[in-house]
Amino acid sequence: MKSLIIGFGSAGKKHFKSLKKIKKIKKIKILSSLKINKKFLIKKKEIISYDPDYILITNLTKLHYRSLSYIDHNFQNKLIFVEKPIFHKYINFKSKNNNKIIVGYNLRHNPVIDFLKKKFRNKKINHVKIECKSYLPSWRKNLPYHKTNTAQRIGGGALLELSHEIDYMIYIFGKFKVNYKFQKKLSKLKIENEDIYQINGFSKNVKFFSIYVNLFDKRNERKVSIYTDNNLTIGDINKNYVKIINNEKVKVFKFSKKNTFDEQHKEILSKNFNKTCNLNDALSILKIIEKKL
């Protein structure tokens, strides 16, 4: 099996490392303007004759639509992976050549998310509180944060870069309706978009949910708290555990750390799409992000 990676920034490098571990992948080529090993480098005019089986689009978010359109136009029946978010804004895209399009919401492959989905899917819940707090300047050591995709006016900001929280809310609890949305730049971070957002709403089985995300908090937390009539369940995604509190009884489930990039590609290439984010799911997330209230 031959693979192609379009774009070789921080995301492209992570996916490259994952693909190198998969025996099924016999050849990897990279389309990039960066200086890389000539063994892997490919020119755009060579892509069609190379005829890759598994194509990864990992360049800047604002370039995703152009890259995906080119690939979809020139190939058919291919497996195409697009790093999240799929586009920098909502675009009603459909494959014209029966290509299978998957979007890289890799937290679906985190063991905590997996546990919570199995436990709470289709269950009645009073309140879900999702929090993601991180400090943007500490994300990447090899590139100043103000030069990253996250800092850019188009394709950046907390909503797009940390749309994982919106995705796994839908993945675990089903589609929801939004009745409150807040997004703004509050800190002195050198970025051109919002550094905080909050979304509140409800769904068929969840009476109330809140998603809170910021890019300026040095605590680095990623948690899901689920309140039912019987107990409180806390899932810590960063520390890989789930705690269930029922009156004075506490149960803790600990999970070994997994490379969610590795797990994601293994399942995709084995044609197991149960956990993957498909094209429609990814476009629904952009509709939520752009929703005006």
Predicted confidence at residue 191, as pLDDT, reads 83
Residue labelled with tokens 């490919």:
42
Which residues is 288 bridged to in the sheet? none
Residue labelled with tokens 């675009």:
91
C-alpha 149/C-alpha 139 separation (Å) is 12
pLDDT tens per residue across span 223-268: 999 999 999 999 999 999 999 999 889 999 999 999 999 999 999 9
Strand positions, DSSP E, the chain: 2-6, 27-31, 54-57, 79-83, 100-104, 125-135, 176-184, 196-203, 206-214, 216-227, 232-236, 241-246, 249-254, 277-278
pLDDT tens per residue across span 129-178: 999 998 888 876 666 556 666 666 666 678 888 899 999 999 999 999 99
> Is-contact 115 97, C-beta < 8 A?
no
Could you tell me the CA-to-CA distances from 141 to 16, 137, 280 in Å, in that order?
18, 8, 34
pTM: 0.92
